[in-house]
Structure 1
Amino acid sequence: MPPLLAVLATLAYGLLGSQQFRTLAPRSWDLGIFTQLARAYGELRAPIVPIKGDEVNLLGDHFHPLLVALAPVWWVWPSGEALLWTQALLFGLSAIPLTRLAIDRLGPGLGALAGAAYVFSFGLQSAAAVQFHEIAFAVPLLAMSLTRLLRGRVLGAALWAAPLVFVKEDLGLTVAVLGVLIALRHREHRTTGWGLAAWGAGWFVLATFVLLPLLNTAGQYDYTDNLGSPLEVLWPPVKWATVGMLLLAAGVIGARSPLILLTLPTLAWRFTGTVEFYWDWYWHYNAVLMPIALAALLDALGDRRTGRATAWRRSTAPLPGRRIRVTAVAAAAAVTLALGPAMPVLDVVRPGRWETGWRAESASAALEAVPDGSVLAVDITLMAHAVPDHDVQWVHGPNRRVPDCLLSDRYAFSWNGAPPEDPALWAQQQWGAEYRTDFEGGGFTVVCRP
């Protein structure tokens, strides 16, 4: 059952990504950015991403050196679509250890339901729906670490958690909290626990205050200005809704587990942030919390084989009965099912969502009209598609380079409803060079320098 569930999830999320990629449904510029990073690593270069700006090293934006693992992906399949399938595979693989543990602890039926509730949880679905992000690598690492911990393999848990510091800088705090929990709850593994805590906290400080500013073109950590007052952490109410959904994903009873504390670092930076996308259940920000929620649920429910808690939960209290176990797992599933038609993964089985529409042929023709290897300014719609064959920069970016061509889409949301009526004239005014129209159709226009 766990491998089958992993395959189903990989196919569902991978097909969702392919559907979006081929029907020209970009959710943000992240896929373009990470496609450019994958290309750089695949060409054995530093992760310079002109989409973000001239000579911008993406390691100075967020600290994610583990993304060098995308290089082999690029060698095999040099496309942004490959990143979407990579993320789908990572999400699917994370279900294997967690579902196996759930089946061992709760029995085949209930355990499989818990695994399904996890792998199709709102956090993973929303992350897949908004396309690739570096947190994809954190999800299986957390799944492996926490299952090892609940099986009493503390050293293995620490070793799987350690690389999280190379996925994103804030995850160093999550690693540090895990280390403290190990030190306090496993006396025989105090050295391992405190060592892991020091590792996580140390890398958080080093990455945030030294490495990121050092590699950043502006010599700073770009996201400091996104932090607001701690007094606003509990407002607006959407934050409470997100916490409520998270607790339901943990079956509510998961709040009894010390593991639920691992969610605090992520929730803290999100809820003190001033960016509204940080607060909601949507986007990719909840993906890293989903393995924690299921692990906390399984920890709180205990092990039905022994009839008692494991060494991780030192308690003399009786374990929850079957009714409570069923209710908790049902709550974890219900929080996603309650979204109903809004569940992103359902788009895969909606035939209308696969229709490429009248613009697909024009999109291909527009890309063909741009000479390979040229410096191309582009808006959101075809950004990721253009990366493999062109030196791409964002049309609204701070780049000083004069592009060879501009590829614009009058329907792209990045124009805020006010696309230029004459892209060639707009490009001339923008960069002070002459441009001529080489292609126009389907809302796409390609203008290039003579």
Structure 2
Amino acid sequence: MNTPADAPSVPRHGARETHDRERLARRMVPGLLAIAATLAYGLLGSQQFRNLIARSWDLGIFTQLARAYGELRAPIVPIKGDEVNLLGDHFHPLLVLLAPVWWAWPSGEALLWVQALLFGLSAIPLTRLAIDRLGPRLGCLAGAAYVFSFGLQAAASVQFHEIAFAVPLLALSLTALLRDRHLASVLWAAPLVFVKEDLGLTVALLGVLIALRHRSHRGAGIALTGWGAGWFVLSTFVILPLLNTAGQYDYTDNLGSPLEVFWPPMKWLTVLMLLLAAGLIGGRSPLIALMLPTLAWRFTGTVEFYWDWYWHYNAVLMPIAMAAMLDALGDRRTGRATAWWRRDAPLPVRRIRVTAVAASAAVTLLLGSAMPVLDVVRPSRWEPTWRAEHATAALEAVPDDSVLAVDITLMAPAVPEHDVQWLHGPNERVPDCVLSDHYAFSWGGDPPQDPAIWAQQQWAAEFRTDFEGGGFTVVCQP
């Protein structure tokens, strides 16, 4: 028979076991999620690269930029046009970090793995925070819902963009803010202005939130606001026009009337998906306002890709959605109430947290088989395309270091060995060779019957056919 002194031993032992499980989950799960996401997104990239899947010319553009930085040159990218400095297209000097990557692995495939790694790493701070605030089970589920969210999966599917560097920086900054480490939050947010010019507005707004919510750190918030706003103005209205071959900011023409912000309905679907990613309850957190600068330029834009959920533009919003949800759900350890919590009316807190995390996961799960990362586990997707050998032969038919005009299909693979420009680009240089793809979407379904004749008409020079097979044709000057 237990004595009164012995009675408390069971709950103490149970509490210790619970604590040990939580500590193990906190140590292991974030890293495992990071590894899983890195492998999934990296393998998806390799699968696409080797099966000649090119969503756009962007991978070729950034591969050419990485090569320029790797060769310690200015980021001149002839794919965009003769003597085009990509720092005059978008302001992303942080991409100079790709130089060591190029030294180790000079291939566009390497950029896909870099993006995968950056997405994976972003899960570590956010998942640890989720475990601390929600407990190991809900926290692990929230971390998984984040790192395989629709925004990150879509970005991985459409291949590399500069925003990959913004995702872990936002995750680290917002996690530090929710842990009341304000200086760390400011320092992690500051480099975002060097990822893309519009992120200066996001940084500025984060500074405003810090100044308003944390009066003891008002100075740091004001400084961050000035830093973000200053770099936005400087990069958009001074640096980009200065480095642009046309002396302008190229994307002003893509902006429409503010009256069109709320139409078509596709925009509302995107907003709903973002709110679901934030567990709906995240809409009550002030942090959700950090989405507004990105959504503002996207929804006033006239390009349909800006509005949709399926492109890379939502990737930078995923850390914001996760942080906003964790902010709104409060902290189970302290019982700290948040804005939506009425102190005079107890709420089924556990049920609310479960519902929020479930909503965050459901927005991706409901898309089911449409999610691109599932291609990694589909054996048929790993079968080599019948065109692979022809593509290799076509590239080998082009002499090294040639000025090569190429279709989007083989643009990125051609960059390491050639001076590449787009076959349909504005370049004035006459290429040494032209590599066309009969099946490329850039032809609009009407490819030329004889690429050699087409090239002669295009550049007023003589070309002969050196290779033909698999839909690829290589024509070079004699």
TM over 0.5: yes
Query: If the TM-score is normalised by the length of the shorter chain, which range does it land in?
Result: over 0.9
Q: Percent identity?
A: 85
Partner of 1:220: 248
Any stretches of 5+ residues in structure 1 without a counterpart?
none
Partner residue, 1:244: 272
Superposed displacement of residue 176, structure 1: 0.4
- 1:141 Cα deviation from its structure 2 partner: 0.1
Shift of 1:149: 0.2
Contact 1:301 1:319 in 2 (8 A): no
Asked if the contact 2:115/2:160 (under 8 Å) is kept, the reply is yes
Q: Which of the residues 159, 163, 168 maps onto 2:191?
A: 163
Q: Which residue of 2 aligns with 1:365?
A: 393
In the alignment, what sits opposite 2:83? 55
In 1, Cα distance between equivalents of 2:342 and 2:197: 38
* Counterpart for residue 316 of structure 2: 288
CA apart distance, 1:309: 4.2
Match of 1:374 among 393, 397, 402: 402
Q: Distance in 1 between matches of 2:104 and 2:118?
A: 17
Q: Deviations over 1:215-237 (max 9, x none)?
A: 00000000000000000000000
Q: Over residues 261-308 of structure 1, what are the superposed CA-to-partner deviations in whole Å (9 max), with x where a residue is unaligned?
A: 000000000000000000000110000000000000000001001111
Deviations 1:323-365 (A, max 9, x none): 0000000000000000011001000011111122211000000
Distance 2:66 2:447 in 1: 30
Alpha carbons of structure 1 residues 345 and 103: separation in structure 2 relative to 1, 3 Å: same
- Counterparts of 1:346-425 in structure 2, within 5 Å, are 346-425=374-453
Contact 2:237-2:249 within 8 A present in 1 as well: yes
Aligned to 2:358: 330
| Contact preservation (8 Å) 1:302, 1:319 | no
Q: Does 1:109 align with 2:137?
A: yes
Of structures 1 and 2, the larger Rg is shown by: 2
Query: Given that residues 253 and 328 in structure 1 are in contact (C-alpha distance below 8 angstroms), is that contact kept between their aligned partners in structure 2?
Result: yes
CA distance in 2 between partners of 1:415 and 1:382 (Å): 14
Aligned equivalents of 2:212, 2:34: Cα separation in 1: 34
Amino acid at match of 1:437: T
Task: Name the structure 2 match of 1:254.
Answer: 282
Residue 183 (structure 1) aligns with: 211
Equivalent residue in structure 1 for 2:56, among 28, 33, 38: 28
Q: Distance in 1 between matches of 2:342 and 2:353?
A: 18
Structure 1 runs of 4+ aligned residues shifted over 6 Å read 313-316
The SS at the match of 2:90 is coil
Alignment equivalent of 1:204, drawn from 225, 232, 246: 232
Q: For 1:319 and 1:369, how far apart are their aligned partners in 2?
A: 70
In structure 1, what residue type is equivalent to 2:205?
V
| Distance in structure 2 (CA, Å) of the matches to 1:281 and 1:425 | 41
Instruction: State the one-letter code of the partner of 1:168.
Output: K
Shift of 1:28: 0.4
Q: Please, which runs of 5 or more residues in structure 2 have no aligned partner?
A: 1-28
Q: What is aligned with 2:158?
A: 130
1:354, 1:413 → 2: CA distance? 22
Aligned residues: 448
Equivalent residue for 2:123?
Answer: 95
TM-score scaled by structure 1? 0.98
Residue number among 150, 153, 156 corresponding to 2:178 in the alignment = 150
Q: Is the 8 A contact 1:301 1:320 kept in 2?
A: no
Alignment deviations for residues 43-80 of structure 1 (CA, whole Å, 9 cap, x no partner): 00000000000000000000000000000000000000
CA deviations 1:399-435 (Å, max 9, x no partner) are 0000000000100111111111111111111001101
Q: CA RMSD in A?
A: 1.1
Residues 328, 340 of structure 2: 8 Å contact kept: no
Partner residue, 1:79:
107
Q: Secondary structure at the match of 2:81?
A: coil
Is the Cα–Cα contact under 8 Å of residues 127 and 284 in structure 1 kept in the other structure? yes
Q: In structure 2, what is the Cα distance between the partners aligned to 1:314 and 1:409?
A: 57
Q: Distance in 2 between matches of 1:355 and 1:195?
A: 54
Secondary structure (helix, strand or coil) at the match of 2:435 reads strand
